[in-house]
Structure 1
Amino acid sequence: MWHDRAMSTTGRRVGRPRAERRPDSGLSAREELLAAAAELFTVQGYAATSTRAVAERSGMRQASMYHYFGGKEDLLAVLLEGTVRPSLDLARGLLAAEGSAEARLWQLCRSDVVLLCGGPHNLGALYLLPEVRTERFAGFARMRRELKEAYGRLLADAACCTALDAGEVAVRTDLVFGLIEGVILIHRSDPDRPVEAFAAATADAALRVAGAREEDLAEVRARAAKLAQG
């Protein structure tokens, strides 16, 4: 998700020299900085991590890091947006698709949990940082808000919710979206939990919160599987 556009004709990032040579990871310098920041922010904490530590972890001089990012906030903003953008892209596609709204909602829930819990670091836990409420993260906030609105639109179109008024739909949207983002805390307490099974179970729970009947869930999952196949 972290692609670097400024590449030389040899495929290497055009930029400043590294502090030391590291084994080739296949990542661009920018991607290595993001990977280092993700590890340090989630393992030792955002406040306790300096830009020097991020640069050193990626094998780069601190001054060279500023060729790619303005500082810690820029690194954090890109990491956070990367936890939302794939789900938002999927949500836009699902909104435009035809078929069961319940199946589309289930698929979005499952995919969102896989994204939040499937990486090497629990980046979703960074949502809880007080720094994320500042203006620098307005782009992340807009993306997250649009994603939540997509959840709400799918939920409103679901057969189990068509008779509800707007207020009740809003409450259920809050509950479903809160459940999905709440997986970051469960994942933090049990990071070895199999992600795919956890994602499917969470999507089932989200549909129950939305109002789907237990006896209909197998059909919802089957339709969602067809959606995922294209």
Structure 2
Amino acid sequence: MGTTGGSRARVGRPRAARRPDSGLSARDELLAAAAELFTTRGYAATTTRAVAERAGMRQATMYHYFSGKEDLLAELLESTVTPSLTLARRLLADDAAPAERRLWELCRSDVELLCGGPHNLGGLYLLPEVRSERFAGFHAVRAELKDTYCQLLAATAVGKTLGKSELSLRTDLLFGLIEGVILIHRSDPERPVSAFAEATADAALRIAGV
């Protein structure tokens, strides 16, 4: 049967229920639904059916985009790291600016990314499931980001005086503080993120001895 009045039928898989148009693609709606449910109900307690229903889709439709919960979790985890890695690569290449300033900017931006979203995705790092081989992609991106922190620290005046083991220790401390902000932010979620990010960057550089 043809359409009438110049309207055109939507092409694609049907939705189980209509929600107000969020402007998101179906894939992004599923990720948003998974982020909400994983951080409020818990990963283990959330079913793929619940994710699909929260996104206004049939469960079968969800499998058109993601193979299951692990696939959703892996993409959510990588979304907490890849923007910072992109910035880190750019800052590492911009040797016209002082390394101290570039390292501070990476810390500040990373904290804003971790704390600026509507859901506490950083808390998902602690899930035991994340240690499995399925999440090797996330761990590889995270390791590259940490290495960029190390390279920027090594390029500072203080970093140039450090031995390999001391540089590694200070990188661990700095990176640990940045990733730990999720737990600090959770205790006072109303704290302005921009001010929190700047204060954390200041503290991170002091911990690193910069």
Q: Report the Cα offset of residue 132 of structure 1.
A: 0.5
Q: Report the Cα offset of residue 21 of structure 1.
A: 1.0
Task: Provide closer, same or farther for how the CA distance between residues 28 and 196 of structure 1 changes in structure 2, counting only shifts above 3 A.
Answer: same
Letter in 1 for 2:85: L
Paired residue for 2:91?
Answer: 94
Paired residue for 2:163?
Answer: 165
In the alignment, the residues of structure 2 paired with residue 138 and residue 199 of structure 1 have an alpha-carbon distance, to the nearest angstrom, of 28
Letter in 2 for 1:100: P
Query: What pairs with 1:137-176 in structure 2 (closer than 5 Å)?
Result: 137-176=135-174
Secondary structure of 2:190's counterpart equals coil
In the alignment, the residues of structure 2 paired with residue 14 and residue 174 of structure 1 have an alpha-carbon distance, to the nearest angstrom, of 50
Report the count of equivalent residues: 201
Secondary structure of 2:67's counterpart equals coil
In the alignment, the residues of structure 2 paired with residue 80 and residue 123 of structure 1 have an alpha-carbon distance, to the nearest angstrom, of 7
Q: Report the Cα offset of residue 81 of structure 1.
A: 0.4
In the alignment, the residues of structure 2 paired with residue 54 and residue 134 of structure 1 have an alpha-carbon distance, to the nearest angstrom, of 22
Task: Provide closer, same or farther for how the CA distance between residues 52 and 202 of structure 1 changes in structure 2, counting only shifts above 3 A.
Answer: same
Secondary structure of 2:136's counterpart equals helix
Aligned-residue CA RMSD (Å): 1.2
Secondary structure of 2:64's counterpart equals coil
Deviations 1:88-113 (A, max 9, x none): 00000011002211000000000000
Contact 1:15–1:67 (CA under 8 A) maintained in structure 2: no
1:22 aligns with 2:28: no
Query: 111, 114, 133: which is aligned to 1:113?
Result: 111
Paired residue for 2:198?
Answer: 200
- Gap runs ≥5 in structure 1: 1-11, 213-230
Paired residue for 1:83?
Answer: 80
Q: Report the Cα offset of residue 209 of structure 1.
A: 1.0
* TM-score normalized by the length of structure 2: 0.93
Paired residue for 1:8?
Answer: none
- Gap runs ≥5 in structure 2: 1-8
**What percentage of residue pairs aligned between the two structures are identical?**
76
Runs (4+) of structure 1 moved beyond 3 Å?
12-15
Q: Report the Cα offset of residue 161 of structure 1.
A: 2.0
Task: Provide closer, same or farther for how the CA distance between residues 105 and 127 of structure 1 changes in structure 2, counting only shifts above 3 A.
Answer: same
Task: Provide closer, same or farther for how the CA distance between residues 73 and 14 of structure 1 changes in structure 2, counting only shifts above 3 A.
Answer: farther
